Structure 1
Amino acid sequence: MSDRLIDTRALEAALAEFARERDWDRFHNPRNLLLALTGEVGELAEIFQWKTDAEAEGVMGTNEAEHVRQEVADVLLYLVRIAMVLGIDIDAAVRNKIAMNARKYPPLRDTGDQT
């Protein structure tokens, strides 16, 4: 079992092969990938645009659930691809960020107040 928090190696290999088979590596530079990622985040946001909080919280119980899953997948795929192109170890970056956030935002102290 891996001690990695996030193990994206298989996904990275699949994305690299997918891009290579289509000769897309020449287009997969940081700028293009970031623009594509931004577009996908926009498509995900569009699903939730103009919904009430209650509607947004219940979206996975609607006929839009599959669309949400697809857009979340697109966002993840582009994010992983950007990390690959920039040589970022996602696992190390996430571990470092969690540690930094833990220092920046320490746990709330238990005051004994149960309200």
Structure 2
Amino acid sequence: MNLTELTARLHAIRDRNDWQQFHSPKNLAMAASVEMAELVEIFQWLSEDQSRQLAPEQLQHAGQEVGDIVLYLLLLCSELGIDMEQAVRAKLADSERRFAP
């Protein structure tokens, strides 16, 4: 996944629709949270086993919500000047150190 390319494509959509005025860090974080809630809604009331065996349409819907979340996070990183790949790598390295056997 090329995050630079994805971000450029997102910016093109944003700019074409004059949405940058709405893309404050606060708004983008809130939008990502709303999309996360939509992902959670797919699993609401499912058992643990059911949540691991989604029907094809539920799995597709979950993928769409994951995509929405990632895209909002890419926009948020862009607005804040955060290098998402570097942030994820740093967090993973921290988890590896903290939770190593």
Shared fold (TM-score, shorter chain, > 0.5): yes
CA distance in 2, matches of 1:29, 1:68: 26
Which aligned segments of 4 or more residues in structure 1 are displaced greater than 6 angstroms? none
CA distance in 2, matches of 1:24, 1:71: 20
**Count of aligned pairs between the two proteins:** 101
CA distance in 2, matches of 1:21, 1:66: 27
1:30 and 2:25 equivalent? yes
CA distance in 2, matches of 1:72, 1:103: 27
1:80 and 2:74 equivalent? yes
Q: Which residue of 1 aligns with 2:10?
A: 15
Alignment TM-score, normalising by the size of structure 2: 0.93
Please tell me the root mean square deviation across aligned C-alpha atoms, in Å. Answer: 1.2
SS at match of 1:94: helix
Paired residues of 1:7 and 1:91 also in contact (CA < 8 A): no
Q: Deviations over 1:83-109 (max 9, x none)?
A: 111100011111111111111111x3x
CA distance in 2, matches of 1:63, 1:90: 30
Superposition pairs of residues 1-115 of structure 1, within 5 angstroms = 7-59=2-54, 61-106=55-100, 108=101
CA distance in 1, matches of 2:94, 2:2: 20
Q: Unaligned regions of 5+ residues in structure 2, if any?
A: none
Larger radius of gyration: 1
Q: Unaligned regions of 5+ residues in structure 1, if any?
A: 1-5, 109-115
Q: Deviations over 1:23-50 (max 9, x none)?
A: 1011100111111111100000000001
Alignment TM-score, normalising by the size of structure 1: 0.82
SS at match of 2:82: coil
SS at match of 1:101: helix
CA distance in 2, matches of 1:17, 1:62: 31
CA distance in 2, matches of 1:90, 1:66: 25
Cα offset, 1:62, TM superposition: 3.4
